Structures are given as C-alpha cells and as structure tokens.
Amino acid sequence: MPIQKVALIGCGRILNKHLDALNENKEFWRLTAVCDVDGEKAKDASKRTGVPWFTDLDAMLKQVDCDLVSILTDSGSHADVAVRVMRDYTKPVLVEKPMALSIPDCDR
C-alpha cells in the first residue's frame, strides 16, 4: 500500500497527539500541509513539521496534494469543515471527536 498523504486543519491543543500518531506510523502516512485560521499556530506547526502552512483551507486544498484531510478544529466547527471538504473537494475526512454537536449536523 502506498504512503497516504494527510493534510491537517486545526493546529490547537490536540495537534501534538496527531503528529505523534503520524510519526509513529510513517510507513503508512505522510503529512503534506497544516492549516489554521490563526497564522501563528499554523506557522509554528509548519516549523515543527517542515510542511507548508495555510490560514485558508481552500487555498491549502487547491495547492497541496492529499489523500485524507484530518480535522482538528474546535468541536463546534467540525461538521461545517467536514461537509465543506467532502462536498467541495471530495476528500475523505478524519474528524477529531465529536464528529458534530447535533444530530442534524451528523446527518449532513
């Protein structure tokens, strides 16, 4: 199986756990980009990982090749970001828990 390319959206507190998981599974996954609306957080994650950083997910997904988008944003935005990535870019997503904050958002 070829190495899968992963882009991360959200560079907050949970980021370290996801970076650790990626590093422990380098034979399967490779990080290709990080994105956060807070430019300082995105830049810091970029410095630590050596991948490009973005503050706009549209710009990232138009410029960076990825097989999976991992969503690590605040819980209240998980559903909106996931739906947007799947609808506009037809990319598979992995969503940090919870998937959404309401049943209607889960249904979307």
Q: What's 108's DSSP letter? A: -
**pLDDT recorded at residue 100:** 74
CA dihedral in degrees (97, 20, 35, 86; nearest 10)? Answer: -50
Residue 97: pLDDT above 90? no
Band the pLDDT of 42: cuts 50, 70, 90. Answer: very high
Band the pLDDT of 25: cuts 50, 70, 90. Answer: very high
Residue 34: pLDDT above 90? yes
Whether the full predicted model's pTM is greater than 0.85, yes or no, is yes
Show Cβ contacts of residue 89 under 8 Å, excluding neighbours closer than 6 positions. Answer: 61, 69
Strand partners, 95: 71
